[in-house]
Structure 1
Amino acid sequence: MVTIAPSILSANLWEFGKQIEQMMTLGVDTFHIDVMDRHFVPNLGYSQEIVKVLKKNSTAICDVHLMVEHPEAMIMDFINAGADYLTIHAESTVHPYRALQMIQEQGVKVGLALNPGTSLASVKELLPLVDRLLIMTVNPGFGGQSFLESQLAKIAEAKALREEFGYTYDIEVDGGINDKTASSCIKAGAEVLVSGSYLFHHSNWQEALLQLQE
C-alpha cells in the first residue's frame, strides 16, 4: 500500500487545523513538513512549532524534511517537538554520517534526502543508517514545480540497491506528484508519495487521494 504524505507547504494557513482534520478523516495519517532557511533553498518554511501543534492536537505522523544548512543545529529542536521521521539532505552538511547518527541515537526514524543532481553512489556509506530515502523530483524550495522525469531512474536504482544489499529504507518521492506522475514513481519503486499543490488544490480530496494511490 502506498502512503500519501500531504505536504503542508500547500495547506491554507487560515484553515490549517480544519484541513488537517479533514485529511485524517479521509485516512491520511502522515504529513510532510518542509523546513527551509533561505540559505540551503531560496525560501522560508516552518519551525518546530508546527510539529508541536500537530502532535498536541492530532495523532498525525510528522515527516519532517530539513532543507537547511547545518541541520545538526536543528535536529534536537525537531526531535523534542515530536518529529517521527527526520530527514536531512546529504548536501547540507560536511558531516552527514554524524548528523544521521544524531537522529538515530534519539530513537527517531532517520531520513536522507537527495537533490536531483546527487547520485546514490555518492551516499552509499550512509544508506545502512537510513529508514527513509527521499528522492527529490524537483529542485527543492518551492511547491508547484514540474516533475523531473530523469529521477525515475534514481528511484529504480534505490530499489535495486535495497534488494541487493538488504537495506531497510522505504523510498519516498517529493516534487511534482500528481495523478499522472504518481504511477510512474510507484512502478519505479516509490512507497511514500509527497503531494502538495495537486492534493490541497484539488476540488475533491478523496478523489485525489484515490487517484494517487491507484
Structure 2
Amino acid sequence: MSARAIKIAPSILSADFADFGAECRAIEDQGADWVHVDVMDGHFVPNITFGPATCAAIRPHIKGTMDVHLMIAPVDPYIAAFAEAGADILTAHVEAGPHLHRTLQAIRAAGVRPGVALNPATPASAVAHVLDLVDVICVMTVNPGFGGQAFIDGQLDKVRELRAMVGDRDIHIECDGGVDTTSAPRCVAAGADVLIAGSAAFKGGSVTEPDAYGRNIRALRDAAVG
C-alpha cells in the first residue's frame, strides 16, 4: 500500500449546510483530496440529506473530485440527474436494487466513474462479479444514515479481503464512517486508500476559521501514513 497515495475525503454531511459552497472551498484549500457528498433518501437509510440540485449548486465551488455516495433506492432513475449535476464518482449500494451490474454500466455510460458500496452485513463476495465495472469500492464502517457513529472494527477484515480480490486493478477502496486518527491507520493497513471523514475533518473549524480543517486533515493523513 505504500505506493498508493492516501486520499482524505471530508464528508459535507458534517459541514455547515447554510454555507456549502464556502465549506467546499475551505476544505479543498486546507488539503482535502476529494469532497464526499452523502445522498440519503429517508427510505434506503433513515435520514434525508440532499439531491442533484445541491450537487449542481456546489459543483462550481469544487476544483477536484466530487465523490457522490448514493444511499438511495432505487438508483437508476437518478443517475442522469447526478451526472448532469457534475458528479465525478457515483457510488451505488449493493443492497439498493436487484440489478447492480446494470446500474454500474449505466453510471459509466453517463460519463461518471462508478463506485459500489457495501453495508456492514454485506460480504465482500457480493462485488466479486462486478470488479471490472467499478473504480471505487466503499466499505461502510458504520451503518449508513447518520454521522458521528462509532467505527465497526470487524469491517477491516472485509477491507483486507477486498484488497486481495482487487489485485492489480486500479480500484480505490474507501472506508466510510467513524474514521479518525485512531481508525485511519488501521484502515490503511487493511488496504484502504480513501478515508472518508466527517466530524474528524470538520471539528473545531468553520469557513471563518478554516485552519482547523487543515490541522484535522493533516492529522488524519499523518496518522494514516504512519
Equivalent residue in structure 2 for 1:212, among 208, 220, 223: 220
Tell me the distance in 1 between the aligned counterparts of 2:62 and 2:141. Answer: 29
Tell me the distance in 2 between the aligned counterparts of 1:50 and 1:61. Answer: 15
AA of the residue aligned to 1:50: T
User: Displacement of 1:208 after TM fit?
Assistant: 1.1
- Helix, strand or coil at the partner of 1:180: coil
The reply to whether residue 131 of structure 1 matches residue 124 of structure 2 is: no
Confirm or deny: 8 A CA contact 1:143 1:175 kept in the other structure: yes
Gaps of 5+ in 2: 206-211
The reply to whether residue 68 of structure 1 matches residue 78 of structure 2 is: no
Show the counterpart of 2:209.
Answer: none
Confirm or deny: 8 A CA contact 1:54 1:60 kept in the other structure: no
User: Displacement of 1:210 after TM fit?
Assistant: 1.2
AA of the residue aligned to 1:17: G
TM-score, length-normalised on structure 2?
0.90
Tell me the distance in 2 between the aligned counterparts of 1:94 and 1:160. Answer: 26
Show the counterpart of 1:47.
Answer: 51
Confirm or deny: 8 A CA contact 2:79 2:110 kept in the other structure: no
Tell me the distance in 1 between the aligned counterparts of 2:186 and 2:139. Answer: 14
- Map 1:91-106; keep pairs closer than 5 Å: 91-106=95-110
TM-score, length-normalised on structure 1?
0.95
Tell me the distance in 2 between the aligned counterparts of 1:156 and 1:202. Answer: 32
Confirm or deny: 8 A CA contact 2:94 2:126 kept in the other structure: no
User: Displacement of 1:58 after TM fit?
Assistant: 3.4
84-93 or 27-36, which deviates more? 27-36
Show the counterpart of 1:148.
Answer: 152
- Helix, strand or coil at the partner of 1:157: helix
User: Displacement of 1:20 after TM fit?
Assistant: 1.8
CA RMSD, Structure 1 to Structure 2 (Å)? 1.2
- Map 1:106-117; keep pairs closer than 5 Å: 106-117=110-121
- Helix, strand or coil at the partner of 2:129: coil
Tell me the distance in 1 between the aligned counterparts of 2:142 and 2:19. Answer: 27
- Helix, strand or coil at the partner of 1:87: strand
AA of the residue aligned to 1:188: A
User: Displacement of 1:84 after TM fit?
Assistant: 0.1
Show the counterpart of 1:15.
Answer: 19
Confirm or deny: 8 A CA contact 2:38 2:69 kept in the other structure: yes
Sequence identity, in percent? 41
Tell me the distance in 2 between the aligned counterparts of 1:58 and 1:146. Answer: 29
Confirm or deny: 8 A CA contact 1:29 1:59 kept in the other structure: no
Tell me the distance in 2 between the aligned counterparts of 1:198 and 1:98. Answer: 35
